[in-house]
Structures are given as structure tokens and as C-alpha cells.
Structure 1
Amino acid sequence: MLVDPDLAWLHLLSDVGTGLAYLSIPAALVVFALRRRDLAYPWIFGLFALFIIACGTTHLAHAWTMFHPNPLAEGLIKAFCAAVSIATAITLWPLLPRLLALPSPAALAREVEERRAAEARALDSEARTAAFITNLAEALFVLRVERQGAAFVTETVNPAYERLFGLPAAQVVGRDAQAGFIPGITERVLPHWRHAVETGAVQHYEMEAETPGGHRVWQTVLVPMRNAEGEVERLLGSARDITETRRLQAGLVESARLATIGTMCAGLAHETSQPLNAALLWLRHARHAATGVMTEQGARLMAAIGVVEGQLRRAGDLVGRIRGLAAAHAGAAETFDATAVVGAAVRTADGQYAPDGIALSFSAPSAALAVTGTPAGLEQAVLHLLSNARDAVLEARAAGAAAPARIAVSLRQAGRQAVIEVRDNGPGVPEALRQSIFDPFFTTKEPGHGSGLGLSLAAAVARGMGGGIAAANLPEGGACFTMTLAIAEPTADGLAPLPVAC
């Protein structure tokens, strides 16, 4: 018991102030712990609160016992405070390394900044990937595997997929791939899809089909994508359009085939012309020897010689045409007026076709159209086209066509090309034969009614003069054969004169 009143009041006020402060601090700790549910060790705040309350109670008890001495109560309170303090110390020291391992606010700020930077990089990478996929020339698609490969759902496609197959993304994405793909093709690609799911191996296959976007040939690479359990859950596919590549390859094969035919034709014409010439020579000797025989047997002999001579000349003409096909009109090229040459061919044909009642017309510009090649070759090519048209209109007449037989020839300039069109009102060209009719020896006529070389010779002439030839059917009936030739500037010597028609 302190005797000095001032000293007593000093102890009293200090203990009361300290005790009240001790009691307010746990309240702040409890409020903080309740509002911050993300604390790593929230229970430690309760332990600290209990420790501080015990300490504050000790100070308040000391202030009370200054006026009401109670050594036992004060001792019990101090014992409780000591127990709580020891328990707090025992708990705190082992926990200290864990508390030190917790990130500081600065470390958390750095981590947040790093995460933001990583997210920005991920978004940038995703944007670049999306732009790459969107602008990729190859068609990309992702199939989700369902029911262990029994069904497939299209998850995504890129714009190249839409262009290749002519299928809008809205029509296929999110739908059953078997129902949303091209009818008739699904059955052909399903075995590849299922094999990729079953084996987990990359699949390569090639398809050709008529799609909503047109005729297409494409190569597909199918890559299985596995989940964490090792099961194939998706198929990543890329399809490359090789339509043009296959067309060029087919053209090369066709060119090689035609070159082989040309070589064979040249050899055949050379080897055949000599026996034919020898046969004609001996036939003339036979005719001369039989001229003086005025009997019935002599007459029959002369008639037989005439028939044989006619057939030999026909064979010789065929050999000459074969030789012309092999040579492809490789004579000296010159610049001449296509209008004059085509007009000469039309006049020649008009005189031959008039007895058959065929109306032949010709329209051309008044100005000259200069082309480079051989005038005789172009005239022969036009005559072949006219002969083909004549056979077509006579075939239509024989089939009972009521319309008069007509052939219309026109010549015009289109850009840097001279365009020759031969139109007829015959039965037209079957779609399946439109590409084959220009092959050597291809003919739809009966045996003995054509060699199958006329249109191929015309095509060779057109190609040799920097153009081409094509056939199409007219809406009103009949066919139109179009030959294009490259326009040439007239030479300083002018255009070649009109060849004499024979």
C-alpha cells in the first residue's frame, strides 16, 4: 500500500489506462479478422486477443487491489495471464517461419503485376493465333469426339474452310459433323476420323467431290488431341485445296500422252506412205496394162482398179492428215489477215454444202485482224470446224429435225484475241464428251465416216497461234465451237495475201 497519495494516483491511473487500452486492442483485432476472411492464420488473432485481454485484466486488478487488497484474486489473475502468455509464446515461435514465408504487400503487388503482364501476353498471343488461323490459306476445323468416336461435333472452322467447301460456319459449328458436312462425303471420311480416335495416330487422306463451292480435290491431315487421361477427345484437322494442282498434273499427263501420240503418228505416217505410194504406182501400171482389154472381164478389172485406187488415195489422205497432226503446222509463221483466210474457208465450204441445203453465213469486221501463223493451217482448221458442223446439222435432219440446217460463222476481236465462232443447229455436244472431242482419233461417227483427226488438228492450230479452242452447247439448241487466236501487230511488209482456196 503506497503512502504517498500522488504516487498512488500515478499507479492507479497508469494501470487503469493500460488496462482499458489492452481491452480496446482485442476488439480491433477481432473486427479486422472478421472483415478479412482471406487471412492465412485467422485463429492467431484470437490468441493474441486473449493474451492482451489477460494482460489488461492484470492491470485493472492491480488498480482495484490498491483500494481493496485481495492477494489471492490478484495472484490467480496473474497466473491466468502467465498461462495465456506462455501458450501464445509456444504457439508463435514454431509458426514464425510460416508467417515470414507469407508474401509481403510489395511482393503481392509484384505478383499481381506479373500476372497482369502474363495475361496481356496471353491475350496478345491469342490474338495473333486467331489472326493467323483466320488468314490461313488452309482450311482448319476441330471435331469434338463423343461416345468414343460414335459421333463427332464440329467445334470451330476458319474462313478458309467456308471457302473450300462452300459451307458457312453457322451451318456446321456446334452441329453433328456427320449431318453438317457434304452429303455423300461423310461416309468416306468417317473411317479416317474413327481410325484416328481408335489408334491415336495422325491420319492423311485425299478426297475429291462436288461441294457447294464447286468441284474440289483436297488433302486432309487429322491430328488427335488427348486429354489428361490419355483419351482422344478432339481431332484437329487441316485441309489443303489441291484442285488446281491435280488439274495441272492431269494437263501434264495429257500433254505427255498427246506428245506420244504425235511421235507415233509421225512414225506411222512415214512407214505407211511408202507402201501406199508403191501400191498406187503398181496400180497405175495395172490400169495401163488393162486399158487395151475391151472385154467384160477387162471392164470389171478397170472398175476394181478404180475402187482400189480410190481407197488407196483415201488412205493416203489419212496419212497426210496424220502427218499434219504430228507436225502441228510447224511451217514458217507469218503475219496475215485472219478475216481474209476465214472468209476464204467459208466460201470454199459454201460451194460444197449448198447441194445439201445448208445455209452458211459469215460475219466479220471490216478492218483486218492480224494474226501470226500459217494461212493454210488456219484455213484448214476452219474447214475442219465447218465439216464437223455440217455433219451435226445433217445428223439432226436425219433424226427428223424440222428447222432448216444452218451454220453461222463469225469473226470478232475481243481484247488482244481474234475470236472465231462456228455455230450450228445440230444436236449439240454431249457434256461427257466436251473435253474428249479434241483428242486425236476420237470420233462418235460410225466406222468409215471420219478419222477423228479434224478437231484435234484445229485445236493444234489454235494452240500454235497463241490461242485455244472450246465447245459449248447453245441454249436454243446446237453447238458453238470457239477458236481464239492471239492478235499480232502487222509487220512492216504488211499482211500476207489471201491464200488461194482449193
Structure 2
Amino acid sequence: MESLFAAFWSGNYSPHGYCLFWQPQLLWTHIVADTLIALAYFSIPVALVALVRRRQDLGFGWMFWCFAVFILACGLTHVMGIVTLFVPQYGLEAVVKLVTAIASLATAALLWLRLPALVRLPSAQKLKEANGELAAMVEQRDAALAELSAAVVQREKVEAALLQAQKLEAVGQLTGGIAHDFNNLLQAIAGNLELIARKPDDADRVIRWTSSALDAVERGRQLTGQLLAFSSKQRLDVKSVRLSELIGGMAGLVERAVAPLSRVRIDRIDPVWNVQTDALQLELAVLNLAFNARDAMPEGGVLAITAELRSGKVAPDLSPGDYVALTVSDTGTGMAPEVAARAVEPFFSTKGVGKGTGMGLSMAFGVMRQSGGTLLIDSEVGRGTAITLILPLATVPPRRDVQDDAARDERISLDGKKVALVDDDRQVRASLAEMLRTAGAVVEEAADGAAGVALVEGARFDVLVVDFAMPELSGSEVAEQVAAIDPALPVILITGFADSAKLDAIAAPNVTVLRKPFESHELLRKIRQASRR
């Protein structure tokens, strides 16, 4: 056997082309054909390698490599066919063919093994259909997202309407107490003014009576400020709030909410406790709890407000941390367990028709959750109810507006300043004009917006003072028209209007908003700051 294979390497045989030399055209036909076939075979693996390297995502890349080796080996057999025409290297030709056979068998075996998977590959038509189904699913998803977005917007509108209704209900329930307080304030102002009119030459008494009237005005301003805060449209603004100041500031409202049958007890709250919440919404929540307590004590009782610091796992639905527990408790009728379990559900109410929206506790719970806290109910029939508002302890102190107390006593001169004053209320306009003239300003008045615009067109002023809420042409519209006439003219917009969104929309840099009621030094200082240099 050895001698048989050794003969292939001995070189004793004649070259393969020896028998073709007598027909040169046939010899060259073999050479050209084998050369072309070999070149084609050699080019195919290069293309396969380039494909696999560029498309590394192909699922059967290894199969392309097998084909490349197989076809390369086939090309080598044709090269050896040309060589053996001239040189009898039949042993080397046999090795090349053996390698080709092994590569072909391996490629065929792997191809048959992977044939079922290859057959399952989707056709172009199926891929097109799948793409169509995917596009339809994308359209359905986009439509669903659009519907969801519209539903979210609608829910926000409903929530805003419910919040506004709850605020208005709170203001409505306070109507009696507010009317009583305002009548007292008006009585104090009118009485002091009458005393001043009777004895204008008694300087010492006039100063005392004036101070008393101004105190009444200040109390009225605080009261209207609270009412405007409740009735205004505002989103939740969570920030650090000093709890002791908030509860102390609304003590009067709480007392009026439960008057006249019940009394209020507010325990001392540590002034260093700052909570993370929206101040106005917390006030509204406490006020609604006071209304609920009043309704639960028809024969009178005690409403108590207390606070304590709690740490750790203070409620099942809260993560461990530091919290302040603000508890509003009453000595009323209490709630049965089944009522307490549903107390925070929207619109759930045990009161009669027209006696409540059923949103008080629900909205208080919502405010607590958005603040990072929760609401707990402890109630028993005949014993009373305790509602605990759990609020996270703030890590930063609240921002405090620094007031310059000396500013009240500062005498502000407006000598040489020319002021255009526009207000549709004759009495308010007259008092403001007198105030400005007393400070040394030259004042020209207009009784409506159109007259105010004409006033600015006809003369040059250092500042325009205009009321916001006027018929036909509002203060903001006057400011816009004046800006077209004299863009550099500073405008001070005075208003007692409640809708802060409309005021916030006035974004002109030369417009300053001053809310009524204000003291003379506030207006004079703003005029001095805003007027042309």
C-alpha cells in the first residue's frame, strides 16, 4: 500500500498534459477554463467574507465561512489541474482534493442539520405582512396614547374644578363670620374717621384715631388676603413651610369656622418644625377638617390642634424617616368603622344633600400624598374623631421675605416726578392723587383706560399708575397700548383682583404689580424705584 501511494510522489509519471500536446487547442482550452473557474472560486470567498464582516447580525454567519472554505478548496483543485498538465505533482493534487472533500462533507452535513431552521425563516411576503401588522399596532398605540393624554388633561380639569368648588364651599361656609368681621372693621374705620372729622385740630387724638383706623385696615387686608388665597387658582407648590406660623396665622379662620357653639384649643407647636408641603393647600385642608368637626359637634364641643415629631416607620404606606404629625381632633359624634374606611373616598359624604361636596377629606389626603405624607383617621362613635396629617420634616428652612421696618417711617419725596393716574373709582383715584401730590408729584388723572392712553399720547410722564380691573379697557390692555406709544414708560399696575394667572401673564419688564390694599409708603417707594432717572 505504501509503495502505491509513494508512486504519486516519485515523479516517474508523465505530466497530465503530455497526451494533449498533440492537440494544443485542447490543452489551452483546459488551461483557460481551469483558470477562469479558479478565479471565480477565489473571488466568491472574498465576497462571502466581506458580507459576514459587514453584516455581523446574520444568524447563520458560520455557514458562510464554511462555504468560503469549501469554494476556496474547489478553486485550488482547478489550479492543481493546470499544474499537473505540465508537472506530475499528483500527490499534492490528491491532498488538495482530500481537503476539498472534507470541506464539502462538513458543509453539506451542517447545511442539512440547519435546513429546518433555514426553512422556517420568513419570506419577503411574510416580512411585509409582519411590518404591516407592526405599523397597525404602532398606530393603535399612538391612538391609545392620544386618548390617555386627553383623559389626563380632562382629569386635571376635573380635579381643578373640584378644588375650586371645595375652596368656594369653604369661603361660603365662612360667609357669616366674614361678614361679621368686615362689619366690625368698617365700624372701627368709620368711627375713627368720624372722630377725626369732629376734632381735626386735636393732633394727639387724631394720630391715635388714625392709627386705630389703619389697624382695622390691616386686619381687613389680612382677611381678604386669606380669602383670595383660598379662591385663587393655584397648582400644588411643595416647599418648606414653618408649621407654627401657618397654624397661628389661620387661628382666626378656624375659630370662625366652629363658632359660635364650639371653642378652639391650639397647643404650642415647636417653631423649629418645618414641613414639606403647599402652605395654602394645608390651610385649606385644616379649614375643611374644622368644618367637619363643627358639623360633628351640633351641640358644641372642643376642636383641638396639636403637633408632634415622629420618626421611623410612622405609617404603613410611608418610608422610614422624620415626620411631623398634625392632629385635628374633636369631641363630636365620631364615625362608625365602615364610614371611617370610606372617609377619604371622593364624593363620599354622610351629610345631607347640599351640605357638602364629600371632597374635604379626599382632597386633604391627596395633598398629603403629593407632599410625601399621608392621612390617618382615628374615630369612634360617641367619642369623637382625630384626623392626623403626616407631613415630612423639611430639611431646609423656609424662605423668608425680609421687610424693612424702617421703610414705614421713611419720608419719600417725589418732587419733580410727573405721574399719570388712571382709575375708574372716583374716590380711590382722588385719595391716590392727593397722596401723590402730598409727596411732591405732579399728577394728571384719567377716569378710564381710553382716557389714560390719550393722556400718555399727549404728554411725557415719568410713570403710569393704572388700576387693573376697569370696564372696557383693563389696566393690562392700557399697559400694552402705552408700550406701543412709549416703550420705556414704567407702569405700576394696582389691583385687588384674585386671579393670579391673569396677573402672571403680564410679563412686560417695565410693569410692576402692587396689590390692594396698600399703604402710601409702598406706592411711593415703587414709584420712586420705577420712575425714569
Interval containing the TM-score (normalised by the shorter chain): 0.3 to 0.5
Structure 1 length-normalised TM: 0.33
Structure 2 length-normalised TM: 0.31
Higher strand share: 1
